[in-house]
Structure 1
């Protein structure tokens, strides 16, 4: 007899969303997570418009700041697009975690303090952290132990290895957009997450120093001069992770654990929430292999657009990204809208 119908590895946003999905579907759920309290992560913290209906459907409405759209700038040119279907939202990762955890608690999700680093599949069930489950969802992030354990992880490509860094500053937002600064050091994301807080995230190659990258942008350096840091500097990466599949027996991978291209387009959470919904639907119907096709469908635009943009950003044509976008605002708007859905 199983201890739980669904065991979820990882209590980050996607793992918690999956736990809520499973409880709403009437399944018994346990989340295995070694960390206590709100979980933070180095990320841009902008929820695309398509993520908000996913959260609302789960009964989750985190506090944050409206985001009108996306703007690209290289210090000389600027192009922006206002979301057609309404705003997104800038949300501190810790606030998002608190809102999801509160909803999971309300629905009766159980939590097990532990990290899943060994997985054993048997006939009709799977075992991990001393628990027997009908199904295991691996939502344990970029460096997923579950993906490695079940043989789905592939080596991280050494080419174009990029990392994320993020710090908040105590300053009133000066823009209603997520401002993306294309600099020689990397892309800097400026996201309003509160009335008096702006998140600053850097996507760059290993070795780029956060403060040096910010100082190299005169406009940004001037804006942040005198602003006190509102959080510690955090890092994450390498961002690109590959898997050869998302399903292995009774194990399904969701979120970053299922494979990740890059954070450049800022829609990782929207994709992760959609994956959680599709994975739970596959379990409810007793057809885990249906999830593979659903994963391909849900992530197709993200993988194509983000992959192409990352290749361009790493090429000698990097400096042409903003000039071309400013000359072709319709193309820029179309790409943003496809990712915002």
Structure 2
């Protein structure tokens, strides 16, 4: 048995017959739910286990760029069917602000959406349930035992047998550790994030990214009366008030605004694995590698990984998924490194942003590449 043994067995909310599932997904975040939706639409029997209970929240910029929306649609998820327009906001493009420089570009075709993480999670969960996906909440995985015909997964409640095991359990994935896929993982960047909501009407339909020597602050409109601000920096963040001091222009706008909810922190990394699949086990989402949040591509990557993984499962060849994963991750990883280079070099940042300000068609072209247009 890999991991701590678990002999306790108890009934779960919706386990498959005899605790069996064709696809068992560990982790019910957006990556796990997207994979569950994609697999269920292919007629596979899917079970999802998670140590928490919904709603599941996480520090996140809460913006879905057009490519993320396209990837969701390709999975068969109709955003407008599950989310009321009043629960989100349109995102027309990206605006960079650094000192006296303001450079912006619109998305090439469709707009993006700003959506609270919990709203998106509830919508994905509802879609998965409608497709017949089973869920076992408050169920933590204690160990796994790979075999020739699948994997046995022991939890604090019961044991499951599955043909394919999917680890969607985040950066500190236990599935990656127990399967050996975490060995040799490379982390080339490590930063800290904090998210805070503010009760203020969005002043722009662009996602605004404020840059300073301190880090970045991303302002995303998420409704007619609320914005999400995600701060990132090389050091831990004491509070939203302290974080705002690094961005005087943003502090002028939000210094007196009412905060909604408590701040939520996280880490953001650039992390690559040697492989994302072995035997009957595969990883998706942050468990399979990550790019810095500076790209805004975390959600879109998860949705693309989910589609590629289910395609490989249907073909009975997880090697296909490993190859597709590398292709999908390549450009966002490069963009992460370029943007972090700008963040760490004030002189270079000023030169590049001034060019983007004076030549907006260059910014528009780069944004087209970034969103896959």
Under TM normalisation by the shorter chain, which class is it?
over 0.9
CA contact (8 A) 1:161 1:206 kept: no
Against the structure 1 CA distance between its residues 156 and 205, is the aligned structure 2 distance closer, same or farther, given a 3 Å change threshold? farther
Q: Aligned residues, how many?
A: 341
Larger Rg: 2
Change (3 A) 1:170 1:21: same
1:97-112 alignment runs, 5 A limit = 97-112=121-136
1:80 corresponding residue in structure 2: 104
Alpha-carbon shift at residue 155 of structure 1 (Å): 6.6
Report the secondary structure of 1:190's partner residue: strand
Partner residue in 2 for 1:163: 192
SS at match of 2:251: helix
**1:10-21 pair list within 5 angstroms:** 10-21=27-38
Residue 127 (structure 1) aligned to one of 124, 131, 152: 152
Structure 2 contact 59–195 (Cα < 8 Å) conserved: yes
Residue 155 and residue 76 in structure 1: after superposition, are their counterparts in 2 closer, same or farther (change >3 A)?
A: farther
Shift of 1:335: 2.2
Distance across 2 between alignment mates of 1:254 and 1:248: 13
- Per-residue deviation at 1:216? 3.0
**Alignment partner of 1:335 is 2:366:** yes
The aligned residue for residue 33 of structure 1 is: 50
CA distance in 1, matches of 2:183, 2:220: 32
CA contact (8 A) 2:291 2:298 kept: no
Distance (whole Å) between structure 2 residues aligned to residue 159 and residue 206 of structure 1:
16
Structure 1 CA distance, aligned partners of 2:71 and 2:190?
30
- CA-atom RMSD in angstroms: 1.9
Given the superposition, is the C-alpha separation of residues 249 and 157 from structure 1 closer, same or farther in structure 2, using an over 3 Å criterion? closer
Is residue 116 of structure 2 the alignment partner of residue 92 of structure 1?
yes
When structure 1 is superposed on structure 2, of 324-333 and 93-102 the one drifting more is 324-333
Question: Partner residue of 2:59?
Answer: 42
Deviation at 1:313, TM superposition (A): 2.4
2:267 is aligned to 237
Superposition TM-score, scaled by structure 1 size: 0.94
Note closer, same or farther for the CA distance 1:247–1:305 as it changes in structure 2 (3 Å cut): same
**Is 1:189 the counterpart of 2:221 in the alignment?**
no
| CA-to-aligned-CA distance 1:156-192 (integer Å, 9 cap, x gap) | 7676421211000000000100000001211100000
SS in 2 for 1:50: helix
Q: Give yes or no for the alignment of 1:298 onto 2:342.
A: no
Match of 1:265 among 285, 295, 313: 295
What is the TM-score with the length of structure 2 in the denominator?
A: 0.86
Query: Helix, strand or coil: the match of 1:230?
Result: strand
Structure 2: where are the runs of 5+ without partners?
Answer: 1-17
Q: What do residues 264-303 of structure 1 show as CA deviations (whole Å, max 9, x unaligned)? A: 0101111110110010010011111111111122222112
Shift of residue 218 of structure 1? Answer: 2.2
- 3-state SS, counterpart of residue 262 of structure 2: coil
More strand by share: 2
Runs of 5+ consecutive residues of structure 1 not aligned to the other structure: none
